[in-house]
Structure 1
């Protein structure tokens, strides 16, 4: 997040907003946790839904595919919407709409109906990221914005850890349909509290637009410049390679553990939570490792590449998860892949800041995110086919292990090429 003068200059400790901005941040954290619940719970409810409807892996893969397509398309416009509507109304509309579509999941009776809801949910949930970033940029002064952004970013990891612990228990106790109802009600409660807080937004004139909004507003000639830029191609390729692994694990890790180790839905909760604990640690380690190298005098470009290749090498452990009879060894291997993913991603985004002027960063990030979502959607269909044909997870885990080194090579060859 970057800001320029103007918007933040109005935010002082004596400002009326000072007494409420931390409450606003708490609501941003809760909204992000709910967002993660809604996104991740379909993977944990897969056995219940399949048992009721008789849907196999191919149909489940199509549900994941359409969710990501909905998110990818909406990603282009979510930031623009938040910029136009403002944080208060934009966030309220986003959470209200996605909670409504989450609620409708409880009443679905057909595959077509579920596909429509997954598209709608993926699209409406895309509002959360630009709204959260804009909320921090709007309500926090520069001296507090980094801390606030760090807290907001941690919410997705918190949500990923809580979801596998809570959702299976809810589904077992109340049924999978009621699990959707409970999550939707949480969103509606959040909406009421958010509107009651009534944050008096300062001027947004000095706030850099969200990545998605910048991409929509990018003039046509600059679009072509971006698409022709090999540095953008390198970043987008790296995002496509590595984000596809993240989405593979989010939608299929519970199934993998249950299928491989004959676990029940309740038994898979701790392993999945453990995987995301390691992912959260990876987020922290990536920034710390790069910072240490740079402080020791290593050139920034060299430090970034060394860290990318380090995490890329760590991800090579992925196939080991398939060849152990010990559940927690497998959990550790999958967790190390996501640890590597988060450490890699932290530095991958930093390479954009290193390689591009500030005015282009948001648009480049948005293009990379779009590439990652589209690649993730394609992978969902591939997973379904591999499982239905009996080939299984091996090709996917081998590819996951190689993806990060290939992504690092793409960054080295295209985005941070020697001599630039």
Structure 2
């Protein structure tokens, strides 16, 4: 036997401080993550004009990123579970910052596609490491709320991105704008490496196993991949994430081309819905934890159906302001549902495999990132923006239908032992 561990157990205040600092740091990185993503959507009209790209080709610039990002989800989760979160977080940040800078050096469609795919690989390593870092530094009782805070930061990034990117595009052009944000990514990576606190002891973060079930063994990836519940949530995340990817990619172009709004005006009008969604995502996490954690369908389905109605009203709006008002309401209601969709797997997955498990769920969401930009671009080229946004109504309703099949309680969402079958 080795020497006994004499490290004193952390106090309740230290546990809270560890969770708070971890969430703040990860949320900051997610904000930079989404600024880097949304920047391409805001810059699309300028890039498309410089290289004479069709809407379908512009959509492929978003889709190729999403495809690479999706394919790296499970490998990133496995690496985080095997080697720890801190190192992978830094590697991911540095990689995506480098390829953000390279975007500004592109000379045509092919070079843009290659660089954006490499950018997707860099960012694709981040979610699994992020969820792993969160699981290691929070207690199970607050984990869903903590995850809700991080998810809310996604929308904060999507909201502030147009406000930051639009003036930069006007002042420096699209190439230099990518270089500026690349530097910001490197700086926050260094900050994360220096300030991320140590993981909590296993008995506090929940990585201690039930001694009555396979003592001494850690859950493997195989049971996660065989879990029907994991894949149901992946399908739900795919259907509902079409809305976010579709709005981020095509609303700026729509407002400029169809409504005649200036670039700065587009920045403001694109920011408001995402900032509202940021607030409602956080509120949805709190509501879900407090009242609906064992009644996910009751929480999610009415919200998704209400979102679909608001999207239909958005398409009927006669003015750009009316369009933005209904878009804001739709995304605000959709934000409330986010933690009903992701809160259950965050709470129920064993922390030892939460990196790989949430990566599988996130693959579903990123399939939406692959499909939405290019499908909507094709619909715009072939029919109209109305047809493209109509696709989002259909996928939101599909999400409500899938929600009937997802587990509502933690005891229905079980990771079977290796070699076994998940309970029905």
TM-score scaled to structure 1, two decimals?
0.81
Structure 1 position 396 matched with structure 2 position 388 = yes
1:122-149: per-residue Cα shift (whole Å, max 9, x none)?
Answer: 1211233233333334445678767755
Alpha carbons 1:245, 1:376 under 8 Å: kept: no
Which 10-residue stretch deviates more, 125-134 or 35-44?
125-134
For residues 146-179 of structure 1, the C-alpha deviation after alignment (integer angstroms, 9 at most, x for no partner) is 7755544432222122101000101111111111
Deviations 1:297-318 (A, max 9, x none): xxx66x4323222212211221
Q: After superposition, give the CA deviation of every residue in 1:349-405 in whole Å (9 maximum; x if it has no partner).
A: 24557998888887664433212322331232211211122x112233333224333
Change (3 A) 1:207 1:324: same
Q: In 2, Cα distance between the equivalents of 1:247 and 1:320?
A: 19
Contact kept? 2:167, 2:264, Cα under 8 Å:
yes
Identify which of 350, 354, 371 aligns with 2:364. Answer: 371
Aligned equivalent of 1:304? 296
Alignment partner of 1:107: what SS? coil
Report the Cα distance in structure 2 between the residues aligned to 1:21 and 1:185, rounded to whole angstroms: 27
Partner of 1:57: 55
| Contact 2:224-2:230 at 8 Å conserved across structures | no
Report the Cα distance in structure 2 between the residues aligned to 1:224 and 1:242, rounded to whole angstroms.
21
- Counterpart CA distance in 2 for 1:82 and 1:357 is 14
CA separation of 1:143/1:380 partners in 2, compared to 1, >3 Å: closer, same or farther?
closer
Structure 2 CA distance for aligned equivalents of residues 183 and 75 of structure 1: 23
Distance 1:410 1:290, change over 3 A: same
- Counterpart-to-counterpart distance in 2, 1:142 and 1:241: 27
Q: Is the 8 A contact 2:33 2:123 kept in 1?
A: yes
Structure 1 residue runs of 5 or longer lacking an equivalent are 1-5, 210-215, 295-299
SS at match of 2:104: helix
Q: For residue 239 of structure 1, report the CA deviation from its aligned partner.
A: 2.1
Distance of 1:284 and 1:98 partners within structure 2: 26
**CA deviation map 1:257-289 (0-9, x unaligned):** 222311122210111111112212331443455
Alignment of 1:277-356 (within 5 A): 277-287=275-285, 289-290=287-288, 303-315=295-307, 316-352=309-345
Per-residue deviation, 1:414: 6.0
Q: Which residue of 2 aligns with 1:47?
A: 45
Runs of at least 5 residues in structure 2 that lack an aligned partner in the other structure: 208-218, 413-423
Contact 2:145 2:289 in 1 (8 A): no
Who is 1:111 aligned against?
A: 109
TM-score (normalizing by structure 2): 0.80
- Pick closer, same or farther for the CA change 1:246–1:208 going to 2, 3 Å: farther
Q: Which residues of 2 match residues 234-253 of structure 1 at below 5 A?
A: 234-253=232-251
Give the superposition deviation at 1:97: 0.9
Cα 1:258–1:198 change in 2 (3 A) is closer
Q: 1:55 to 1:362 in 2, by over 3 A?
A: same
Query: Which residue does 2:152 correspond to in 1?
Result: 154
CA distance in 1, matches of 2:327, 2:272: 10
* Separation of aligned partners in 2, 1:89 and 1:354: 24
Q: 1:360 to 1:201 in 2, by over 3 A?
A: closer
Say if 1:337 and 1:401, in contact at 8 Å, map to a contact too. no
